[in-house]
Each structure stands twice: as C-alpha cells, then as structure tokens.
Amino acid sequence: MIGPVDSSRVPRYAGPATFARLPRLDEVAHADVAVVGVPFDTGVSYRPGARFAPAAVREASRLLRPYNPGLDVSPFERLQVVDGGDVAVNPFHIGEAIETIEQASSDLQAGGTKLVTIGGDHTIALPLLRAVSRIHGPVALLHFDAHLDTWDTYFGEPFTHGTPFRRAVEEGILDTEALSHVGTRGPLYGKKDLEDDRRLGFGIVTSSDVMRRGVDETVDALRQRIGARPLYVSIDIDVLDPAHAPGTGTPEAGGMTSRELLEIVRGLRGLNLVGADVVEVAPAYDHADITSVAASHVAYDLVSLLALKEGL
C-alpha cells in the first residue's frame, strides 16, 4: 500500500498537488479508490468556472491528514487510494464530452476501482451514473444540492447541469424507490417543478428541514429510504450557504453549513456506497479558497466511507 507523502518530512506546499498528496494511478499496481477530476463546465446555465475545480480542490487537499477522527478510520491504510488524474473532455461539444466521461469512468472501474469524482459541472453526473449502473444495476441516489436538477431542457437542450437526474430516471439507471434531494432551496420556475420532481420519484429534504429537524433525524430518514441498495452520492457544493461556499456558479441564500453537510455524509457509514461526485466548485468566485477547502473535506469523507465499507 502506497500512502500520501508524509507532511512531517516534506512540506505540504512542496511537490505535485495530487489529491491529499496521494500517489498517481500509474504509480500503483491496483487502485481500490481513485479520485478523478473532470474539468468540464460547458453545461452551466449561469457562471462558468467549474472546469478549474479539480486543480483547486487538489491544491486545497494538501491540508488533509491520513487519519479521519470524524469516522475513526485511516482510509489510506485500509485501501489503496490514488489520484486518477483528469478526464480530458471536449469543452465545445456536450454530447461528445458525456460519451468520453462515461467511457473513461467505465474503464477506470473495470478492475473493481471505486470512483470519487471532482467536477466540473453537474452535467457529469449522468455519464457517471450510466457507468456505475452498468456494474450495479439501477442505484439509489442521494443528491445534495440547492437545486432539483430534474428540469427537462434549457433553451431546448436536454443535457445541461440542470437536467442530469431527469435523464437518469428516463434511462432507467436510478432506483426510483430510493431517490432523495437534500438541501434544496430558493425560487423555482413554478410549482410544476416540484410536481414533476415528485412524479420522477424524488423525496425532498430542504435546507430548512435540515435546520429544523437536525442532522440525526435527517440521517435516519435518508438511511431508511436508501436501505441496503447500492448508493451513489452526488454533491453540488452549492448545497452549502454562500457563506461556506461562495465559489460556485449558481449560489442561493439560506443553505446548509459545511459542518451539517459533513455530519450528514458521515451518517451514511455502513451503507452500500458504490460511487460519488463533488461538483460545481468555481474557484474564481472565491477569494480565500473556502469552497475548495470544503469540497476537499467532503471528498475525503466520501473516500473514508468507502474505506469503512470495504474494510468490513
């Protein structure tokens, strides 16, 4: 097992910025988990910039340490975790980019490697779900986001960062008995947005619900809905309030704190997690790397959940 560079011997600010200072995929014989970047933001509807997220999150992740006290696990001792590099996609053609991401993620998972993907905008969730469902069948989805992302089209286009989960339901790659949004808030185009979302099978825990019910009750409800199904977790960083994640393309007031998000993610311990993504970090809108730091910690906890699952 090759672990991260020892920060007590080599300063954190020195050397290449792989995720958590982990080895590259080409430096190991086999990877149990790969943290992979998808620098793509052609599907955004407002502020671009998430194509720069993988590099920014890797840079912020230099501060991560090998023991996770929140989950009582040293993930890099249990599993061979690597930085899988970036999937190089066509920034001028959404359809081709989706095909490239689907093929690359399928190739990476062919030997049993699990992926934690750093986007990029939320368009990338669709090809990632296609690839993971090819292995596990229709999966449960836990979707953290300010927005529903179940709209039909934007400007007549069916593949954008606001449409991936409608397409995923239509394609039969999600288990419609176990779909949940967490952290939604803000204005909608109309009440029909919520009606369509319910028809697709989603349950909603709003940001206000999290505040009123608390983390423990929220986690209990989510765990009951998910059960033992294979679970994919998709986290749009704008689920956090702009105070905690200003660097994102479509910020909404009234969001969750980074503490609430991390505690809910940790509450998924023991579930059948099969893949995850963290998307929509747009570093140019953040003056102090607050958003990238939050995203790096969320990704680290997702890796830790995979380590606990595989270590059972």
Per-position DSSP letters for 272-285, written without gaps between them: -EEEEEEE-B-GGG
Q: Are 123 and 161 in contact (CB under 8 A)?
A: yes
Per-position DSSP letters for 54-86, written without gaps between them: HHHHHHHGGG--S-BTTTTB-HHHHS-EEEEEE
Q: How far apart are CA 113 and CA 136, in angstroms?
A: 13
**Of 179, 109, 116, the residue nearest 145 (C-alpha):** 179
Alpha-carbon dihedral sign for residues 131, 221, 200, 188:
negative
pLDDT for 298 equals: 98
pLDDT for 312 equals: 43
Q: Which residue type occupies 219?
A: V
pTM, to two decimals: 0.97
The pLDDT tens digits along the chain (312 residues) read: 899 998 989 999 999 999 999 999 999 999 999 999 999 999 999 999 999 999 999 999 999 999 999 999 999 999 999 999 999 999 999 999 999 999 999 999 999 999 999 999 999 999 999 999 999 999 999 999 999 999 999 999 999 999 999 999 999 999 999 999 999 999 999 999 999 999 999 999 999 999 999 999 999 999 999 999 999 999 999 999 999 999 999 999 999 999 999 999 999 999 999 999 999 999 999 999 999 999 999 999 999 999 998 654
pLDDT for 309 equals: 83
Q: How far apart are CA 211 and CA 257, in angstroms?
A: 10
